[in-house]
């Protein structure tokens, strides 16, 4: 592995040290690798969510022309749909 120099706030350094001293992690590097894994997972979830939103947007565009509804009409449609399920 290649060494990397990073800067941490005093609070971050204290938390990192506490994690190692408590035995939860074997080393500072292990703490940082775990943090990076969590960040990677979050980024993957963000990408999946963005893809889902893009798909929903495309489906909305393909669904046809928009229809103007009042709030009462919209609520009535929701109630009708909910009652049918």
Does 29 or 1 have the greater pLDDT score? 29
Q: Give the model confidence (pLDDT) of 6-42 as tens digits.
A: 999 999 999 999 999 999 999 999 999 999 999 999 9
Q: How far apart are CA 69 and CA 31, in angstroms?
A: 53
Q: Which two tokens stand for residue 78?
A: 């929701």
3-state secondary structure the chain: CCCCCCCCCHHHHHHHHHHHHCCCCCCHHHHHHHHHHHHHHHHHHHHHHHHHHHHHHHHHHHCCCCCCCCHHHHHHHHHHHHHHC
Does the residue 3 lie in any domain? Answer: no
Does the residue 57 lie in any domain? Answer: yes
pLDDT, the chain, mean = 95
Evaluate if residue 72 carries a pLDDT over 80: yes
Residue of 50, 6, 53, 47 whose CA lies nearest to 28? 6
Does the residue 40 lie in any domain? Answer: yes
Does the residue 22 lie in any domain? Answer: yes
What pLDDT does 1 receive?
80
pLDDT over 90 percentage in the chain: 86
How many structural domains comprise the chain?
A: 1
Q: Which two tokens stand for residue 13?
A: 């350094």
What pLDDT does 84 receive?
84
Does the residue 36 lie in any domain? Answer: yes
Domain encompassing residue 45? 10-84
């Amino acid at each position: 592995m290649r060494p990397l120099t990073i800067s941490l706030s005093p609070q971050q350094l204290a938390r990192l040290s506490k994690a190692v001293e408590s035995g939860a992690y074997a080393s500072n590097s292990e703490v940082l690798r775990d943090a990076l894994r969590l960040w990677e997972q979050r980024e993957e979830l963000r990408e999946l969510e963005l893809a889902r939103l893009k798909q929903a947007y495309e489906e909305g565009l393909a669904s046809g022309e928009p229809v103007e509804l009042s709030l009462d009409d919209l609520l009535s449609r929701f109630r009708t749909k909910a009652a049918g399920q």
